[in-house]
């Protein structure tokens, strides 16, 4: 499946909330979604409250349709109180690589 749309998000958790933030992200409803081709969650080595997410989708339309669902809106609402300030988003289209866990 080809990735045609994606982004990289950087979120800063409120002190002591990063583990909860990561847990919610790793249980995200987009993970089993067939149009979500890449979904990686990482943590800054220098600041454990900083969390990074990289997503790749088959199309901008698939991404927008998913984020219009009740499941996605519930996730966004659950994440909001865990965050310190606004998340930063950068457009990104993953083109390849490797992820093994």
The pLDDT score that the predictor gives to residue 93 is 81
Return the domain boundaries, the chain: 5-89
The pLDDT score that the predictor gives to residue 98 is 77
pLDDT digits (tens, 9 = 90+) for 18-65: 999 999 999 988 888 899 999 999 999 999 999 999 999 999 999 999
- Residue 101 pLDDT more than 90? no
Whole-structure pTM value: 0.89
Domain range 5-89, CATH class: alpha beta
Half-sphere exposure of 85 (CA within 13 A, CB side): 10
pLDDT digits (tens, 9 = 90+) for 56-78: 999 999 999 999 999 999 999 99
The pLDDT score that the predictor gives to residue 8 is 95
């Amino acid at each position: 499946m080809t990735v045609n749309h994606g982004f990289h998000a950087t979120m800063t958790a409120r002190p002591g909330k990063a583990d909860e933030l990561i847990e919610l992200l790793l249980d995200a409803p987009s993970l089993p979604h067939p149009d979500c081709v890449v979904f990686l969650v990482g943590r800054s080595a220098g600041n454990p409250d900083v969390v990074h997410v990289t997503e790749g989708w088959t199309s901008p339309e698939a991404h927008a349709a998913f984020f219009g669902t009740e499941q996605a809106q519930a996730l966004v609402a659950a994440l909001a109180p865990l965050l310190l300030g606004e998340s930063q988003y950068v457009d990104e289209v993953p083109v390849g690589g490797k992820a093994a866990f």
